[in-house]
Amino acid sequence: MVARISSRMMLEVLYKDLAARRAGAGCVVKVCMGNGCLAAGAEDVFHAFSLEVDRQGVEAKVIPTGCQGYCQGAPIVTIEPRSLFLNKVMAFDVAKVVDIVVKRGGELIQHFYRNPDTGTICRCAGEMPFFQHQVKIALRNLGQINPMDIEDYISIGGYLALSRALTEMTPEEVIAEVKKSGLRGRGGAGFPTGVKWESARRVKGDRKFVICNGDEGDPGAFMDASLMEGDPHAVIEGMIICAYAVGDCREGYIYVREEYPLAVKRLGIALEQAREYGFLGRNILGTGFDFDIQLKKGAGAFVCGESTTLMISIEGKRPSPRVTPPRSVEQGLWGLPTCLNNVETFANIPAIVLNGGEWYAQYGTETSKGTKAFCITGKVKNTGLIEVPMGMTLRRVVYDVGGGILEDGKFKAVQTGGPSGGCIPETHVETPVDFESLTRLGSMMGSGGMVVVDEKNCMVEFARFFLSFTQQESCGKCPPCRIGTYEMLQILDRIVAGQGQEGDIERLEELGRMIKKTSLCGLGQSAPNPVLSTICYFRAEYEAHIRNRGCPARACTTLGAYVIGPDCILCGLCRHSCPYGAVIERRDGFFIENALCKRCGTCLVVCPTGCIRVEPELQEEAVNT
């Protein structure tokens, strides 16, 4: 048990002590325990390292860290002090790694990343092209520290920003610094954070709240999860600074999505430690400032990521959005002034306070300052968690950082902003990634999911996927969203099933525009984006589904004609399994009789070689039947 840190002096002494200890720590094995690596078995790897280090009698410290970013190589292990970056270290590799790398100071080439273009081996993370183009501010500590150890966080300068804000700066100065940085809300809408804080400060009230929105519901995005799991103290520190700047604020909430049990656990530990060390609670750092944070767990509703809904959910009521204004900074949680920001926004704050707003503003574009974390996933070679300066072009993000398309496929589009965003086609790949440019293309920044799709993905089906998501998650309060998304989904279902009609595209466009204009909250206002943007850029695909009853990407299996390709091995499984007897055996092989085929997809599933293809319906076929 450590004594509460009751002054800035005490914190600085502790920091110097811990930093010195960190510098002389010798060998440290950092096992990535991000969500991705855990799924690949990092927990076993961690235990194996702890055991093996003892067994072989090596002087080394084994610590878990947050997401190290390169999820493609999971499980990842970094070995200090040489900063060797090892990919795909499984539990059975550990004995060898400890023996050769830790004990004898050697290297294991098979675990290093090899640059596929040049063939060079990258020993450290810094040598990999994946990391070379990144600038890490919000994610600065991920992979560097043990998220469950507050001393590790203090040893790299944690809570120094807080002590500086509390002792050297007035709340107005903190706000001025945040305004100077140009930081905009990282939840997606991009509202300037400093302006929000200032208006929250200006509102009169003796009880205000700070809320951290960790309800990252966007499928395909996990930045906030990684931050809460990998650097919870940075988020907490950002919130305390915010509470100080807003004034009259003694209570804060972190609302975490239920699907992130690990984030809940690690935030819980971090909050406990922060209280123990005196960064939360009464009289923080002896300045007379009181603040504490409660953790709230969601229960699986996407709409709770919308700020007014989130507050109603915290109140324990059936959540649905309300009309704004009044804005949350005036009437938020329990009708009291509330300042709500995203996880990533808060994680940026300590760095801004410590290094100054100008330092942060050097990155990015004129209107979108700083850096943004993205999750680059889908059909790219290097999937993972990245942070790049705003204004980097999509091409550079996909090719330089993402390493290009998987299996050297053809890049088709990138989907940003989750179900609220849109698809940006290859023709716009030179677009800089910033708030305005993405909105102009009918997409949005969103919280930062970036899903790359290649030519094998059907854009109609993709749009249908997103819409079915938003339709399911619509809270049902306002009719445009409740009924409109349902109607749109019906049309899309029809098109994907090969029953599209002339005029469907126009109906979708009209409905989409209407829903955007008349919905109550952000969910409805942005729900048609995936459909509208795919119609805008991939209209031909919609037309092919409707007119030719075919899917150009050959992804929709409920329309078109099933054809057995030349790589058939004559196993006969398709004939055996076809419930309609549509697979017919001929002397030279198998053949699918399209008049009998109901396109159920059974043969596609059973075929061991994947030689059955779905072709757009042939012209002569129409004549025959």
- Residue ranges that bind another protein, judged by CB under 8 A: 35-36, 38-40, 71-72, 74, 216-222, 225-226, 258-261, 296-302, 313-319, 334, 375, 377-379, 383-385, 415, 418-419, 449, 451, 453, 457, 462, 465-466, 469, 475, 601, 605
* Distance of closest approach, residue 64 Cβ to another protein, in angstroms: 16
* Distance of closest approach, residue 217 Cβ to another protein, in angstroms: 7
* Distance of closest approach, residue 177 Cβ to another protein, in angstroms: 32
Q: For 41-44, which contacts have Cβ atoms below 8 Å and span 24 or more sequence positions?
A: 41/75, 41/90, 41/91, 42/74, 42/75, 42/76, 44/90, 44/91
* Distance of closest approach, residue 514 Cβ to another protein, in angstroms: 25
- Quick one: 189 or 406, whose CB is closer to another protein? 406
Please give the span between the terminal C-alpha atoms of the chain, in angstroms, as a whole number.
Answer: 82
* Distance of closest approach, residue 297 Cβ to another protein, in angstroms: 6
Q: Please say whether the beta carbons of 379 and 393 come within 8 A.
A: no
Residue 115, φ and ψ in degrees, nearest 5: -65, 115
Please state, as a whole number, how many other Cβ atoms lie within 10 Å of the Cβ of residue 118.
9
Three-state secondary structure call for residue 282 = strand
Calpha distance 24→63 (Å, rounded): 16
- Quick one: 581 or 601, whose CB is closer to another protein? 601
**What residues contact 559, with CB distance under 8 A and at least 6 apart?**
496, 497, 498, 545, 549, 550, 551, 599, 614, 617
Provide the phi-psi class of 285: left if phi over 0, else alpha when psi is between -120 and 50, else beta. Answer: left
Q: Please say whether the beta carbons of 228 and 222 come within 8 A.
A: no
- Quick one: 72 or 533, whose CB is closer to another protein? 72
Calpha distance 336→200 (Å, rounded): 11
* Distance of closest approach, residue 223 Cβ to another protein, in angstroms: 9
Q: Which single residue is written with the structure tokens 């990144």? A: 134
- C-alpha distances (whole Å) from 127 to each of 115, 124, 389, 395, 535 are 10, 6, 19, 21, 41
Calpha distance 446→221 (Å, rounded): 10
- Quick one: 279 or 462, whose CB is closer to another protein? 462
- Quick one: 151 or 216, whose CB is closer to another protein? 216
Provide the phi-psi class of 250: left if phi over 0, else alpha when psi is between -120 and 50, else beta. Answer: alpha
* Distance of closest approach, residue 174 Cβ to another protein, in angstroms: 29
Q: Please say whether the beta carbons of 50 and 242 come within 8 A.
A: no
* Distance of closest approach, residue 162 Cβ to another protein, in angstroms: 27
What angle in degrees, to the nearest 10, is found between the helix axes of 232-246 and 343-355?
70
What angle in degrees, to the nearest 10, is found between the helix axes of 232-246 and 261-276?
60
Q: Please say whether the beta carbons of 568 and 611 come within 8 A.
A: yes
Q: Please say whether the beta carbons of 143 and 78 come within 8 A.
A: yes
* Distance of closest approach, residue 61 Cβ to another protein, in angstroms: 26
- Quick one: 41 or 192, whose CB is closer to another protein? 41
- Quick one: 94 or 380, whose CB is closer to another protein? 380
Give me the torsion for CA of 584, 585, 586, 592, rounded to 10°.
30
Please state, as a whole number, how many other Cβ atoms lie within 10 Å of the Cβ of residue 486.
12
Buried b / exposed e over 394-415, threshold 16 CB at 10 Å, is: bbbbbbbbbbbbbeebebbbbb
- Quick one: 153 or 466, whose CB is closer to another protein? 466
Identity at 552, one-letter amino acid code = P
* Distance of closest approach, residue 520 Cβ to another protein, in angstroms: 16
* Distance of closest approach, residue 35 Cβ to another protein, in angstroms: 4
Residue 306, φ and ψ in degrees, nearest 5: -75, 135
Structure tokens at 410: 């053809």
* Distance of closest approach, residue 226 Cβ to another protein, in angstroms: 7
* Distance of closest approach, residue 532 Cβ to another protein, in angstroms: 17
* Distance of closest approach, residue 560 Cβ to another protein, in angstroms: 17
If residue 391 lies in a helix (H) or strand (E), which one and from where to where? none
Calpha distance 286→557 (Å, rounded): 66
- Quick one: 368 or 485, whose CB is closer to another protein? 485
- C-alpha distances (whole Å) from 298 to each of 178, 187, 229, 312 are 29, 17, 16, 11
* Distance of closest approach, residue 260 Cβ to another protein, in angstroms: 6
Q: Please say whether the beta carbons of 448 and 372 come within 8 A.
A: yes
Identity at 104, one-letter amino acid code = R
**What residues contact 1, with CB distance under 8 A and at least 6 apart?**
276
